[in-house]
Amino acid sequence: MAKEKTVYVCSNCGQDSPKWVGKCPSCGEWNTYVEEIVRKEPTNRRPVSGIETQKAKPIILSEIEADDEPRINMHDEELNRVLGGGLVPGSLVLIGGEPGIGKSTLVMQTVLRMPDKKILYVSGEESARQLKLRADRLSDVSSDCFIVCETSLEHIYVHIKNTNPDLVIIDSIQTISTENIESSPGSIAQVRECSASILRFAKETHTPVLLIGHINKEGSIAGPKVLEHIVDTVLQFEGDQHYMYRILRSIKNRFGSTAELGIYEMRQDGLRQVSNPSELLLSQDHEGMSGVAIASAIEGVRPFLIETQALVSSAVYGNPQRSATGFDIRRMNMLLAVLEKRVGFKLAQKDVFLNIAGGLKVNDPAIDLAVISAILSSNMDAAIEPEVCMAGEIGLSGEIRPVNRIEQRIGEAEKLGFKRFLLPKYNLQGIDTQKLKIELVPVRKVEEAFRALFG
């Protein structure tokens, strides 16, 4: 007979304890321990894993063949790029994101583009009819895609054994449960045990598995932190539901770079790959409009131009308002302090609103120069020339610090027809200006940039 016992598990890192404690000794978070009922199996009974386990034996390092594994083409350039060139056989990939952001749509349309692979789609959240309706909306239907609605891990392994698929998709990991643990689906123990068992299956059979996961209110992957350690790749699918753009970024990748980024546009018939995001993120005409500056940003390894919009007005109420959409509000407050202290612009009694057009969230410090230029443009009600682009990080003493990959930023601006590019003076070293059709304006301090923009 299996013995039942109660343990307390940290919902943040997965550390367990026989009694409740206020502060987790592993991760240091307070009040994260929750009660779990665990069944302890007899030692002579092995848990059902659904696969035949082969005993491993030590191998000398020099005898191991290190050939590059052939990657599976997902027939999606953005997804292939974020994965590092395609899906590695035997890898476990976790895709997380907010409800309704398009995770299932992304996975389903990827599945429908792979008619040469036999795919098993395990759904624990939707019925087969709902999946069929989504597939019809996404147009093409693959004949080699098997759909099964199941939440038991042991039954899923039976379906895998019967169909012998090339790729397994589980939507979502929070709905799957194993009979070896008594707790409910989605609990810390269930998520940890099911994902560990699926990882063992993926590695021993060389079958790639795609997991879809939920996120919590903080925006991180729901479940124990150990879930992100178990899987090979963690992809975050993010964006604002009120905008049509979606960004797929890699948080962890054992088989590629975490600096890659994929951009999609949400449409009625699914997600469309955006190969040139700059043309979509720039409004067609902002000539004569104050408070608009164009920044050359890099997200991942891709350069693109974004429109920075600012509005500065006199504070109607006592405390001036500060609001930023798509940009760190604390960094904006720092830039406003630099403008006031180093440059002498009095903005203490002004409302300042900042917006990154297109619903993007940008963390690149190189857009600092565009942010303060847009703020100053709105404050003076003087428009910046529409054919001017800029990149530069602002220091606390008012200097413009160099930024990385400046050639890519300049190349993107030149490709889209911009005539002038403001850049940090230090970044001018090593750039062959003879080959460029765009005029480079090196600036060392914030005052020099303002003189170059407004005369």
Tokens 């729901």 belong to: 222
Q: What is the 8-class DSSP label of residue 91?
A: -
Spatial contact of 281 and 357, defined as CB atoms under 8 Å apart: yes
**Residue 99 marked ligand-binding:** yes
Q: Is 386 annotated as a binding residue?
A: no
Pairing mode of beta strands 302-314, 292-299 = antiparallel
398 is in an annotated binding site: no
Residue 179 labeled ligand binder:
no
Q: Letter for the amino acid at 431? A: I
The reply, when asked if residue 98 is annotated as ligand binding, is: yes
Element (DSSP H or E) covering residue 266? strand 261-267
| Nearest in space to 295 (alpha carbons), one of 390, 374, 394 | 390
Angle at 347 between CA 343 and CA 348, to 5 degrees: 120
Residue 346 annotated in ligand binding: no
Reduced to 3 DSSP states, what percent helix, strand and coil does the chain have, rounded to the nearest 5?
30, 30, 45
Q: Is 290 annotated as a binding residue?
A: no
Whether the Cβ atoms of residue 440 and residue 429 lie closer than 8 Å to each other? no
Print burial letters for 337-362: b (CB count within 10 Å at least 16), e (below 16). Answer: ebbeebeebebeebbbbbbbbbbbeb
Report whether 96 belongs to an annotated binding site: no
Binding residues, as ranges, are 97-104
Binding site as annotated, residues for ATP: 97-104
